[in-house]
Amino acid sequence: MPRKTPLVIGHRGAPGYRPEHTRSSYEIAFAMGADAVEPDVVATKDGVLVVRHENEISGTTDVARHPEFADRQTTKRVDGQPLTGWFTEDFTWAELSTLRCLERLPEVRTSSASFDGSQPILRLTDLLDLVREASHEHGREIGVVLEIKHATYFASIGLELAPLVERDLRAAGWADGELPLVIESFESTVLGELKERGIAASYIYLIESAGRPYDLLVAQGKQVLSYKATVRPAGLAALVGHVDGISVSKKMLLAKGSTIVADAHARGLRVFTWTCRPENAFLAPEFRSGGGKAAFGDYEAEWAVIKASGVDGVFVDQPDLGVAFFRD
């Protein structure tokens, strides 16, 4: 059933206030009342799942400042795209643990950038323990929306993510449905693998506003259904029984005449959207104001369109603003 008010999900914690995926980013999200938080996971060379937005970490850690790792800089193709930098799969966890986190968008979030260099990378198990502890501390159930990144790519280099995710969820006591867990990915294949492994969770298929899912592109070629076609009625009908819902770019909900939420709900699917941010840099053009990209625009007007769509969950970078706006 659709929710009366959407779930407010702290996107990578509270990255409007602290560097994303750091302990303090998550702790702020808990304190601000987020219903759940969203860690992204990628793997190390020795099979440790770490909480990073991407496996390329030059923008979110101080790896480039470590001369001992200078020779690890390289160029790879990830999901078919060339990337140059430093990659988690070329480091052991012991090596990554020596790095410190940086603000990914320092030109927009200067206050957050003032905390650069103060916090280490988290492992998935660290984050799961943090959420459990915060639920007790704050006296309410806090969920995890776990995003699995680049599963097809990692499998191609011998690092299958599904068994690593299962290992960590079971070890931390998050695999049996006692705690609120959502698992999401832009690749439906890994979601299916985790369902088959018996992980009790809601499974959400992430949808870009353009392009095609990389896992299916590799398996089936260019005839594979595009993301846009996936959210049309026939595409949604094909998802029933495989996933519990979709999570779409907010661009798709802001498009004039969008019926995605109603179409999904008619087929028993939940709908999340990403990402609600107040700064001009992230708002649709018609909601921007003066003052530059770091200034807040008329975010409430944009968010009102999203709320009116009947969406079931929203990812936010400032959980206090999200809670204030979306929770009646």
DSSP codes joined into one string, 167-226: HHHHHTT-SSSSS-EEEEES-HHHHHHHHHTT--SEEEEEE-SSS--HHHHHHH-TTSPP
In one-letter notation, the amino acid at residue 32 is M
In a domain, 177, yes or no: yes
**pLDDT per position as a tens digit, 57-97:** 999 999 999 999 999 999 999 999 999 999 999 999 999 99
In a domain, 90, yes or no: no
In a domain, 70, yes or no: no
3-state secondary structure of 138: helix
Cα separation, 284 vs 91, whole angstroms: 38
Once rounded to an integer, what is the mean pLDDT over residues 183-191? 98
In a domain, 267, yes or no: yes
In a domain, 194, yes or no: yes
pLDDT number for residue 3 = 64
In a domain, 174, yes or no: yes
In this structure, what token pair is assigned to residue 126? 């660290």
pLDDT reading at 1 higher than 90: no
| Beta-carbon count within 10 A of 220 CB | 12
Query: Where residue 20 falls among pLDDT bands split at 50, 70, 90?
Result: very high
CATH of the domain at 15: 3.20.20.190
Domain count along the chain? 1
The reported pTM is 0.97
**pLDDT per position as a tens digit, 251-301:** 999 999 999 999 999 999 999 999 999 999 999 999 999 999 999 999 999
Print burial letters for 169-179: b (CB count within 10 Å at least 16), e (below 16): beebebbeeeb
Range(s) of the domain holding residue 241 = 7-55+122-326
Cα separation, 294 vs 299, whole angstroms: 13
In one-letter notation, the amino acid at residue 259 is T
**Element at 124 (helix H, strand E):** helix 124-138
Mean pLDDT (the chain, rounded):
97
Residue 184's closest CA among 173, 195, 176?
A: 195
pLDDT reading at 2 higher than 70: no
pLDDT reading at 234 higher than 60: yes
Cα separation, 239 vs 260, whole angstroms: 14
DSSP codes joined into one string, 266-312: HTT-EEEEEEE--BGGGS-GGG--SS-TTSB-SHHHHHHHHHHTT-S
Structural contact between residues 326 and 272, judged by C-beta atoms closer than 8 angstroms: no
CA-based R_g, the chain, Å:
19
In this structure, what token pair is assigned to residue 270? 């939940």
pLDDT number for residue 328 = 74
Q: Judging by DSSP bridges, how do beta strands 202-207 and 143-148 pair with one another?
A: unpaired
Structural contact between residues 116 and 19, judged by C-beta atoms closer than 8 angstroms: yes
E strand residue ranges, 101-187: 143-148, 181-185
pLDDT number for residue 315 = 98
pLDDT reading at 26 higher than 60: yes
Residue 327's closest CA among 11, 35, 131?
A: 35
3-state secondary structure of 82: strand
3-state secondary structure of 58: coil
In a domain, 272, yes or no: yes
**pLDDT per position as a tens digit, 244-264:** 999 999 999 999 999 999 999
In a domain, 95, yes or no: no
Structural contact between residues 78 and 90, judged by C-beta atoms closer than 8 angstroms: no
Once rounded to an integer, what is the mean pLDDT over residues 302-318? 97
